[in-house]
Structure 1
Amino acid sequence: MEALPSNLIFHELIGLYAEVFESTNPKLINICGRVIDETRNMLIIETEDTHEKMVPKNGTTFVFHLPSSSADHDQRVKIFGTLLLSQPENRVKNIRKIRMR
């Protein structure tokens, strides 16, 4: 399944480029890089200088860059981290349940 703005909260996030747009912790704002791991409450982002930053989902707004067929720019989607709060494998399964309704 292709990652689209309409299904991103149900999609695998590992490998996507992400930016911290807003956060209750001001030190996290503007962290950006590839999502390399995900837990129930955290995204682990590898920054361009190869540091791994653990960013809590709760209280954070992310901007994800979705690859597009046009090579000149990615599509950007803003997601509230609270929508991502669940175990990644359960969140991915939920799209199947919604489609079956």
Structure 2
Amino acid sequence: MITADNITSHEFIGLHTEIVRSTNPQVIGLNGRIEDETKSMFTINTENGMKRIAKSTSNWRFSIENSDVIVEGSKITKRPFDRIGAKA
């Protein structure tokens, strides 16, 4: 089960996210469902189509257990199978 404490060691595909801080101000506020993930990128299904965003350049908001959790992209820039099950 994904919790606020262990979110960085779980799968992100299928979760809804929003960019709350970024080195690229044009993507702040971008939100949608994560469709794919690589070591350094999320592919997000937004209202305006699929967008590929670098993980490390942004802070991501996820709603977990009815509360918002902010995750620094630099903390999740690993291949998904290396991160899943690892300690944050």
TM over 0.5: yes
Tell me what 2:59 maps to: 61
Instruction: Give the TM-score, by structure 1 length.
Output: 0.81
Tell me what 1:89 maps to: 81
Q: Give the fraction of aligned pairs with identical amino acids, expressed as a percent.
A: 31
Between Structure 1 and Structure 2, the one with more strand by share is: 2
How many residues get paired?
88
Deviation at 1:58, TM superposition (A): 1.1
Between Structure 1 and Structure 2, the one with more helix by share is: 1
Unaligned ranges ≥5, structure 2 = none
Structural mapping, 1:15-94, within 5 Å: 15-47=14-46, 49=47, 51-66=49-64, 68=65, 74-94=66-86
Q: Which structure is higher in RCO with an 8 Å CA cutoff and minimum separation 6? A: 2
Unaligned ranges ≥5, structure 1 = 69-73
Deviation at 1:59, TM superposition (A): 1.9
- Work out which of the two has the higher radius of gyration on C-alpha atoms and give 1 or 2: 1
Instruction: Give the TM-score, by structure 2 length.
Output: 0.92
Provide the alpha-carbon RMSD of the alignment.
1.5
